[in-house]
């Protein structure tokens, strides 16, 4: 995965959404207007630990019928010269998850480009 993460810089904004989502929903997500029901902080985790934590966290969030969660992946400032590792991995992992409708880097007050808001599908639709 290193060739994918190398392009990503600490200040880059992560932004993804499945087709068919309303612009107003995406705008609310980008502005941090959804209440975050839970948060996962990955600081200090290895990529293996982070992957396991992310899967468990998303499964629990889905089971709890959470709508929006925040994942703190960090900006990768302590990573090697290859740029932020977890940020790139989280970007890839979230896009592979069927329950993830959209995600966007957080507002500065919520971690900025070191965190993402994640909008999840509801269990009943």
Residue 68: in which H helix or E strand, if any? strand 68-72
pLDDT of residue 1: 38
For the chain, percent of residues with pLDDT exceeding 90:
75
Identify the pLDDT of residue 2. 39
Give 89-121 pLDDT, tens digit per residue. 999 999 999 999 999 999 999 999 999 999 999
On whether the CB atoms of residues 42 and 74 are closer than 8 A, the answer is: yes
SS3 state of residue 70:
strand
- Which residues on neighbouring strands pair with residue 104, listed in sequence order? 15, 117
- The larger pLDDT score, comparing residue 31 to residue 2, is at 31
Q: Which residues in 84-121 are b (16+ Cβ under 10 Å) and which e?
A: bbbbbbbbebbeebeebbbbbbbeeebbebbbbbbbbe
């Amino acid at each position: 995965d290193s060739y994918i993460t190398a392009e990503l810089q600490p200040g880059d904004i992560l932004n993804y959404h499945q087709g068919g989502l309303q612009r107003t929903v995406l705008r609310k997500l980008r502005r941090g207007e959804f209440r975050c029901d839970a948060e996962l902080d990955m600081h200090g985790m290895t990529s293996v630990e982070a992957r396991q934590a992310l899967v468990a966290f998303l499964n629990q969030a889905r089971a709890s019928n959470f709508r929006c969660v925040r994942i703190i992946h960090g900006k990768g400032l302590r990573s090697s010269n290859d740029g932020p590792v977890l940020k790139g991995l989280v970007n890839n992992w979230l896009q592979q998850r069927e329950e993830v409708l959209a995600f966007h880097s957080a507002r500065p007050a919520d971690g900025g480009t070191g965190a993402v808001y994640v909008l999840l599908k509801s269990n009943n639709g």
